[in-house]
Chains A and B, each alone.
Chain A
Amino acid sequence: MMTRWLILLLLGIVMLPMQGLSYEAITVSDGGTIVGEVKYAGDPPAPEKIDVTKDANICGADPKVSPALVVGANKGIKDVVASLPSIQKGKALGKPDKPPVLDQKGCEYHPYAQIIPVNTTLEITNSDDVLHNIKTKGGSKTSFNMAQPKFKRKLTYDFKNPEIVQVECNVHGWMNAIIVVEDNPYDALTDANGSFKITDVPPGKYTVKVWHSKLGEQTKEVTVGPKEEVQVAFDMKAP
C-alpha cells in the first residue's frame, strides 16, 4: 500500500514541470499591440441566403442572411478569430463582469461569435416560443446536445476546454454559432471591417493565427517590441 502511494507521489513530481505548458499570468508594463486586418482575397461570394423553411411565425418569413461569412465593403471579413497560440506568459485572464449569454431569438444565435474565458458558465437563453436544441458540431473536445423547449428559458453550460466550439440547432438547420473558449486573453474577433487588435503583448516573437469557419486558418510570425504597435495583414479565401 505504502509503495503504491510512493510511486504515485513520484509520478506527480515528475509531471509537475508539465504545468509549465499552460499559461502563466504576469504583470505586463511595456506591452506592445498587434493590429491586424483580415481581407477577402479576390471577389467574395455573394452573401449566403437562408430560406426559412419552417416555423415562419417565430423565425420570420423573410429569407435570412447567413452570419457564417460576412465580407464588408472594404473586403474585410467579420468574425475571424485571431489568437497567439504560442503565448506562455502575459496579463491575467480576467473573469467577465456578468455571465456571457448566447441567445436564441428569431431562430438565430445572438451573438454569432463570442469569446469566453475557460471555466466560464455560458447562459444559453431561448427567447423564441419554439423548441431549439443546442448541439456541438463534431470536431471539438467539448460535446453536448441539449434540448431547450420553449418553456425552458435558460440553460447553462460550463466550458472546460480551451478551443473553438461550433454549435448548431437541428430543429432549424440554418442556425450556427461560434464560441471561442480562451485560456489566455490574447485573442480577438474581427469587426465588420475585418480589423482586430490584441493589446498588452509582452515584447517577443509570436505566431499570429487567424481562423474562420469557412475559410480555414493562416499564421504569420511577428516580433513585438516594448510599447510598439505591429501591423499584420491576412488575405483569406474559400478553399
Chain B
Amino acid sequence: MGVAVATATLAQEQRGASSPEDLEAGKQVYTRKCAQCHGDDGQGTGPAANEVFPRPRDFTRGIYKIRSTPSGTVPTDGDLFRSITNGLPGTSMPAWGVLPERDRRQVVQHIKIFSQKFKEEIPTPITIPPEVPSSAESIARGQELYRDAECWQCHGDAGRGDGPSLPDLKDDWGHPIWPADLTQCWNFRGGSTQQDIFRAFMTGLSGTPMPSFADIFEPQQAWDLTNYVRSLCRDRNVDIFVRAVPAEGELPTDVNDPRWANAPAIDFPLVGQIIQEPRQFTPSINAVTVRAMHTAGDIALLLSWDDRTHSKANPEARTSDDAFVVQWPVRLTEGPEKPYFLYGDTSRPVYLWRWTANAEGISELNATGFGTESPQRQESQNLKGTVVYDHGQYKMLVRRTITTDDKDNDLQFEAAKFIPIAFSAWDGSNDETGNKRAISAWYFLYLEPTPSRARLIYPGIAVVAIAAAELFFGRQGRRRRSA
C-alpha cells in the first residue's frame, strides 16, 4: 500500500501538481469563458448548451474524444491544452489561442477537478512511430483496409459519413451523433495532419461510436489508412465570388460532364438561420460548392453539397423534404444595396430557384421576405435542370437563358458584373423545414465576358505584318549588298 501511495504521489509531482492559486485562477477563467456552454458544474449543461451541436462536453465523466492516450483512459494535460488552444473544428468549441498561455494552463487544471478519474489514473500517451509517406501504393493499400475493416459501415463508401450504421449512432449521453465526413478534413475534431488521423485510429474518440483500432492495425497499416483518408479530403476554395466561365458549344446537361472541371469551384459556407423564428442553431449542411459556365445565350450552374441522408417528407420517420434554393435579386443595381438576405424585402424583391425532394424539376419563385414566396406562372417557368443524390452528396445542375421575357420577375444576367447570389439548404432528416434552414450571406457570381473574335484576329494581323516587314527589309538589305 505504501508503495502504491508513493507511486501516485510521485506521478502527481511529475504532472506538475497545481497550486491553490493556479486552481483559483483556472476557475476564474472557466467561469468567464467556458461556463456558458459547459456549465458551472462542468456537466455540459450551461445556458447555451441546447443551441450547439455537437453538445458541449460533460466534464464530470472524464471522457474525452481527443486524446493521445489509449481508449477509455483520461487525456494528458497536453491533450486538454491542445483542444483548448486549437478548438474543435466543425463544432462550437472555438480556438482559445487568444487567451494567455498561463490562463489556458490554469483552466486545464480546473477542468480536471470535475472528474475523479484524473485522480485515479495516470495518462500514458501512445507512441506514434515514424510516418509512412503518402504514395499511390500506400493509398491503394489504405483503400483496401477501408473496405476490409468496414470503415464504410459508418463513414460511407465515398467517405461522406453516410454509411448504413448512421441512423443508429448515439454518443455516451444518448444524443445522436454523425460520423465524420472524411472529404471535409478541415472539420476533423482532433485536426487533420497525418499524425492527428493516425492518433484517432489508435486511440478512438471516447464517448463516441468511433472505436480504437490499436489491437487491429500494425503501424504500417494505420499509416496506409491515414494516407487513404487524407486522399479523400478535397481542396477547399473559399471566396466571395465565383466566376462563370465562357464555354464553347452547348452547355452541359449532365452533372458529371467532364467539362465542369474547366469551371473554378468555389465553396460558400452555410450557417444556421438564427435571426427569425423558428431558428436553426444546428444545421447539418455546412457549405455549397458552386461552378458556373455560360455561352452568349445561356448560363448553367452546378451546385453540390454534402448531406448524409436523402430525405423526403414522412411524418412517421419525422422527416421533411430535402431542399435547396439559389437566391438572386430581381434587379441589378449600380450601388451596394441588395435585398435583405433572408428572402428580400418589400422594396427589393428576390428571385429564387427552388428544388425540393418531392417535386420534379426546379422552379422559379419571387419573394419579398420569408413566407411570401410565390411560384411564378407556369408560362414564366423556364429553368432546366437536374438533381442527383449519390453517396452523401447532392449535385444540382440549373440552366437558364441569360435574358428572359419576364423582366419584372426574373433576373436578367449581365456579363462583367458582380451579381449577388445567396443560398438556402434544408436537410429534411435534421428537423429542417420552412425557416429552419442553413443559409448564406450574399456572395457574387461574375460572368466572364465571352472573348470577342478580335482576340484571334489581332495576333493574326501582327504575324502577317511582321512577316511582310521582314520580307520587305530583308530584300532591301540584299539589294544593298548586291549593289
Residues of A within 8 A of B (CB): 5, 8-9, 11-13, 15-16, 18-19, 53-55, 130-131, 133-138, 142-152, 155, 170-173
Q: Which residues of A contact B213 (CB under 8 A)?
A: 147
- Given contact pairs A12-B5, A149-B216, A143 touches B72 in the complex (Cβ within 8 A): yes
Specify the chain B residue showing the minimal Cβ separation from A124. Answer: B215
A147 partner, pick from B6, B149, B167, beta carbons under 8 A? B149
Q: Which residues of A contact B207 (CB under 8 A)?
A: 138
- Given contact pairs A8-B6, A15-B1, A136-B72, A145 touches B210 in the complex (Cβ within 8 A): yes
The CB with the most chain B CB atoms within 10 A, among A133, A134, A136, A148, is that of: A133
Whether B5 and A145, one on each chain, are in contact in the complex, defined by CB atoms closer than 8 angstroms, is no
Whether B2 and A145, one on each chain, are in contact in the complex, defined by CB atoms closer than 8 angstroms, is no
Whether A144 and B2, one on each chain, are in contact in the complex, defined by CB atoms closer than 8 angstroms, is no
Q: How many A-B residue pairs have CB under 8 A?
A: 103
Q: Which residues of A contact B9 (CB under 8 A)?
A: 8
- Given contact pairs A133-B211, A135-B209, A9 touches B165 in the complex (Cβ within 8 A): no
In the complex, besides A138-B61, A138-B63, A143-B71, 13 extra interface pairs with C-beta distance below 8 angstroms are A8-B6, A12-B4, A12-B6, A130-B150, A138-B172, A138-B207, A145-B204, A145-B211, A149-B148, A149-B149, A170-B154, A171-B165, A172-B165
Q: How far apart are the CA atoms of A19 and B4 in the complex, in Å?
A: 13
Q: Which residues of A contact B6 (CB under 8 A)?
A: 5, 8, 12
Whether A11 and B209, one on each chain, are in contact in the complex, defined by CB atoms closer than 8 angstroms, is no
Whether A170 and B209, one on each chain, are in contact in the complex, defined by CB atoms closer than 8 angstroms, is yes
B209 partner, pick from A142, A143, A145, beta carbons under 8 A? A145
Q: Which residues of A contact B148 (CB under 8 A)?
A: 149-151
Q: List 17 A-B contacts (CB under 8 A).
A: A11-B2, A12-B2, A18-B1, A53-B168, A130-B150, A131-B150, A134-B211, A143-B73, A145-B210, A147-B211, A147-B216, A148-B216, A151-B148, A170-B169, A172-B165, A173-B169, A173-B170
B3 in contact (CB, < 8 A): yes
Whether A138 and B173, one on each chain, are in contact in the complex, defined by CB atoms closer than 8 angstroms, is yes
B212 in contact (CB, < 8 A): yes
Specify the chain A residue showing the minimal Cβ separation from B213. Answer: A147
Q: How far apart are the CA atoms of A150 and B72 in the complex, in Å?
A: 23
**Cβ proximity bits B1-43 to A, threshold 8 Å, 1 near / 0 not:** 1111110010000000000000000000000000000000000
Q: How far apart are the CA atoms of A135 and B71 in the complex, in Å?
A: 10
B2 partner, pick from A13, A134, A137, A151, beta carbons under 8 A? A13
- Given contact pairs A15-B1, A16-B1, A131-B149, A171 touches B154 in the complex (Cβ within 8 A): yes
> Which 6 pairs, one residue from A and one from B, show the smallest C-beta to C-beta distance?
A12-B2, A173-B168, A170-B209, A131-B150, A143-B72, A138-B172
Q: Which residues of B contact A147 (CB under 8 A)?
A: 149, 204, 211-213, 216
Q: Which residues of B contact A8 (CB under 8 A)?
A: 2, 5-6, 9
Q: How far apart are the CA atoms of A161 and B153 in the complex, in Å?
A: 32
Whether B72 and A54, one on each chain, are in contact in the complex, defined by CB atoms closer than 8 angstroms, is no
Q: Which residues of A contact B5 (CB under 8 A)?
A: 8, 11-12, 15
Specify the chain B residue showing the minimal Cβ separation from A156. Answer: B215
The CB with the most chain A CB atoms within 10 A, among B4, B164, B172, B208, is that of: B172
Identify which of residues 130-174 in chain B touch chain A, using a CB-to-CB cut-off of 8 Å. Answer: 148-150, 153-154, 164-165, 167-170, 172-173
B206 in contact (CB, < 8 A): yes
Q: How far apart are the CA atoms of A11 and B10 in the complex, in Å?
A: 14
Q: How far apart are the CA atoms of A84 and B213 in the complex, in Å?
A: 38
Whether B63 and A143, one on each chain, are in contact in the complex, defined by CB atoms closer than 8 angstroms, is yes
Whether B149 and A146, one on each chain, are in contact in the complex, defined by CB atoms closer than 8 angstroms, is no
Q: How far is the CB of A139 from chain B (nearest CB, A)?
A: 8
Q: How far apart are the CA atoms of A147 and B169 in the complex, in Å?
A: 15
Whether B71 and A145, one on each chain, are in contact in the complex, defined by CB atoms closer than 8 angstroms, is yes
B212 partner, pick from A146, A170, A173, beta carbons under 8 A? A146
- Given contact pairs A12-B1, A148-B216, A173-B168, A135 touches B211 in the complex (Cβ within 8 A): yes
Whether B206 and A145, one on each chain, are in contact in the complex, defined by CB atoms closer than 8 angstroms, is yes
- Given contact pairs A138-B63, A171-B154, A9 touches B2 in the complex (Cβ within 8 A): yes
Specify the chain A residue showing the minimal Cβ separation from B203. Answer: A145
Q: Which residues of A contact B3 (CB under 8 A)?
A: 12
Q: Which residues of A contact B154 (CB under 8 A)?
A: 170-171
Specify the chain B residue showing the minimal Cβ separation from A15. Answer: B1
Q: Which residues of A contact B149 (CB under 8 A)?
A: 131, 147, 149, 151
Specify the chain B residue showing the minimal Cβ separation from A18. Answer: B1
Q: How far is the CB of A131 from chain B (nearest CB, A)?
A: 4
Whether B61 and A145, one on each chain, are in contact in the complex, defined by CB atoms closer than 8 angstroms, is no
Identify which of residues 346-378 in chain B touch chain A, using a CB-to-CB cut-off of 8 Å. Answer: none
Whether A53 and B167, one on each chain, are in contact in the complex, defined by CB atoms closer than 8 angstroms, is yes
Q: How far is the CB of A8 from chain B (nearest CB, A)?
A: 5
Q: Which residues of B contact A130 (CB under 8 A)?
A: 150
Q: How far is the CB of B72 from chain A (nearest CB, A)?
A: 4
Q: Which residues of A contact B173 (CB under 8 A)?
A: 138
Q: Which residues of B contact A134 (CB under 8 A)?
A: 211
B71 partner, pick from A13, A144, A151, beta carbons under 8 A? A144
Q: How far is the CB of A121 from chain B (nearest CB, A)?
A: 13
Specify the chain A residue showing the minimal Cβ separation from B171. Answer: A138
Whether A146 and B63, one on each chain, are in contact in the complex, defined by CB atoms closer than 8 angstroms, is no
Identify which of residues 257-278 in chain B touch chain A, using a CB-to-CB cut-off of 8 Å. Answer: none
Q: How far apart are the CA atoms of A137 and B6 in the complex, in Å?
A: 33
Q: How far is the CB of A55 from chain B (nearest CB, A)?
A: 8
Q: How far is the CB of A160 from chain B (nearest CB, A)?
A: 11
Q: Which residues of B contact A152 (CB under 8 A)?
A: 215-216
Specify the chain B residue showing the minimal Cβ separation from A155. Answer: B215
A145 partner, pick from B1, B72, B216, beta carbons under 8 A? B72
Q: How far is the CB of B331 from chain A (nearest CB, A)?
A: 51
